[in-house]
């Protein structure tokens, strides 16, 4: 549905989508390097955060390698299996079908209790059916692997309530 794709892409700024792709590529590279720390990330228009006990230099090199590989056409690095987009797509499908399963029960507790197993089953079916669509949504809407015009400015380590967080700052090349 090209109309929906374009509408959603306009809602998410391209810099966020590019940083999201670079965040995923960085996490892929770190995993390839057998970094065993628990990791996560979140992106915005000015870069992304990487959570985890990882040396700053390791993150910088992984981000640089990820950017180079994306620029050379390894666009699969922009999609990550642990991305929250996957959970959101599955959750929306599960919640929508579970809600549908409960529709028509009104305020009657007895009806709701009798319908609950059906709603749970529909929710589980919805989640399973939606699973393949999470990566597609990442590929088409929430990431953009075209990162050649981006520049990694710096990687700064922060201590946030006892947890290590690295800020990877990016900007558009002039």
Q: What global pTM score does this model have?
A: 0.86
Pairing of strands 40-44, 163-172: unpaired
* CB 101, CB 130: distance < 8 Å: no
* CB 23, CB 39: distance < 8 Å: no
pLDDT tens readout for residues 109-129: 999 999 999 999 999 999 999
Identify the pLDDT of residue 9: 53
Average the pLDDT over 38-54 and give the result. 96
Band of pLDDT at residue 174, cut at 50, 70 and 90: confident
Whether pLDDT at 165 is above 70? yes
Domains of the chain: 2-79+143-172 (3.30.980), 84-133 (no CATH)
* CB 167, CB 155: distance < 8 Å: yes
Distance of CA 97 to the CA centre of its chain: 23
Whether pLDDT at 47 is above 70? yes
| Range 20-55 burial, b when 16+ CB lie within 10 A, else e | bbbbbbbbbbbeeeebeeebebebeeebbbbbbebe
pLDDT tens readout for residues 59-72: 999 999 999 999 99
Helix (H) or strand (E) holding 159: strand 150-160
Whether pLDDT at 41 is above 80? yes
Helix (H, G, I), strand (E, B) or coil at 113: helix
Whether pLDDT at 5 is above 90? no
Band of pLDDT at residue 30, cut at 50, 70 and 90: very high
DSSP structural state of residue 83: -
Residue 45 backbone dihedrals phi, psi, to 5 degrees: -70, -20
């Amino acid at each position: 549905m090209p109309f929906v794709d374009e509408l959603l892409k306009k809602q998410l700024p391209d810099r966020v989508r590019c940083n999201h792709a670079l965040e995923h590529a960085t996490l892929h590279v770190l995993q390839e390097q057998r970094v065993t720390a628990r990791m996560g990330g979140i992106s915005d228009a000015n870069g992304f955060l990487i959570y985890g006990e990882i040396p700053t230099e390791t993150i910088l090199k992984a981000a640089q390698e990820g950017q180079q590989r994306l620029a050379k056409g390894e666009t699969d690095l922009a999609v990550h299996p642990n991305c929250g987009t996957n959970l959101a797509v599955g959750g929306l499908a599960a919640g929508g079908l579970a809600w549908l399963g409960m529709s028509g029960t009104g305020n009657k507790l007895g009806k709701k209790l009798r319908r609950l197993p059906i709603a749970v089953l529909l929710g589980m079916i919805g989640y399973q059916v939606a699973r393949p669509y999470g990566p597609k949504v990442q590929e088409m809407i929430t990431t953009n692997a075209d990162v050649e015009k981006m520049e990694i400015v710096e990687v700064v380590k922060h201590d946030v309530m006892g947890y290590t967080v690295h800020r990877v700052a990016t900007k558009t090349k002039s």
